[in-house]
Amino acid sequence: MRRPPRLTRRPRTVGRAATRALADAGHEVTAVDVTRPVWERAEPGAPAYRQADLTDAGEAFAVVRGADAVVHAAAIPDPSMNPPHVVFHNNFMATFNVLEAAVRFGVSRFVNISSETVPGHFFAERPFLPDYAPVDEEHPVRPQDPYALSKHFGEQLMDAAVRRSDIRCISLRPSWVQHEGNYERNLGPQVRDPSVLSPNLWSYIDVYDLADAIVLSVESELPGHEVFFIASPDNACGRDLAELVREYYGDAIPLRALPRPDASGISCAKAYRLLGWEPKRSWRDYLDENGHALPR
């Protein structure tokens, strides 16, 4: 029997969705988090769970030992609520320790949850606009904040790991992650009013589509280290992206060819091509045309 993949979890919405998707795909999963998710008796069929602080190398080595694959999603996801050094240290050292353990234990596949912010947008302290849209993996990397910087360095750790070992790495850069409970709060204002701007050019990703990309990454035979943006194919306004960019950014953001009129501001063509990823969900499955939640 194959050794189980380890899933380091945070934020919990991504961890739970990925855990369920991996288990449904037939993988034996051990979930890892810095706090206990529940204090009650585990539900029938629930995955194994280990509590660990991954910024501690000993704890990271303890939870990675015995795994075939590691999905590393543990991070402080927002640099605005902690001191900068706390964000950077937590995110970078957790990635370093888990990857180092994976290399030393001969883990074959490492899936690193990076971020759409790596090019430099979203939390930039000084004005930042992308060089072009839709943004893709070839876009220059110019992070300013400790979160994006930690994610950028995490991708560089993957590059170094494949140079010095046989491990195969995939870094996923998810867009703004949405789930049943937050679509209306997060995307509803943009559906109602496109002038509610977001630095990722109205992009988003459903947590279950992200979980599908994680499963494909775990099962992928791609060699070396590949980086993939993961975003829904449509934008959060349901409007023509070219018109949106012209209206709110003028000529400041050059437009490249769009796969569809209401395209996302982030291109996932590489994920479609190399991972075989096909997102199945849209904000329209959760919200009406006025941005209000549909009855469940």
Q: In total, how many domains does the chain have?
A: 1
All residues at 6 or more sequence positions from 12 whose CB lies less than 8 Å from its CB, including other chains: 33, 37
pLDDT at position 296: 79
Is residue 45, in this structure, part of any structural domain at all?
A: yes
**Rounded average pLDDT over 10-14:** 65
Domain assignment of residue 27, given as a range: 6-285
Closest Cα to residue 239, out of 174, 172, 177, 191?
Answer: 191
* 189, part of any domain: yes
Question: What's the half-sphere exposure (Cβ side, CA atoms, 13 Å) at 187?
Answer: 33
Task: Assess whether pLDDT exceeds 60 at residue 6.
Answer: no
The fraction of the chain above a pLDDT of 70, given in percent, is: 95
In a domain, 175, yes or no: yes
293 part of a folded domain: no
pLDDT in the model for residue 10 = 44
Mean pLDDT of 118-142: 95
pLDDT band for position 1 (50/70/90)?
very low
Does residue 292 sit within a domain? Answer: no
**CATH classification of the domain holding 211:** 3.40.50.720
Q: What pTM was estimated for this model as a whole? A: 0.94
pLDDT tens sequence across 165-208 = 999 999 999 999 999 999 999 999 999 999 999 899 999 999 99
Q: What pLDDT score does 43 carry? A: 79
Residue 163 lies in a domain: yes
- Sequence-distant (6+) residues with CB within 8 A of 240 are 261, 262
User: Has residue 248 got a pLDDT over 50?
Assistant: yes
pLDDT of 29: 95
Q: Is residue 290 part of a domain?
A: no
Residue 3: pLDDT band by 50, 70, 90 thresholds?
A: low
- Whether 2 shows a pLDDT value over 50: the answer reads no
Residue 36 reports pLDDT greater than 80: no
pLDDT of residue 292: 95
pLDDT in tens, 262-281: 999 999 999 999 999 999 99
Structural domain contains residue 291: no
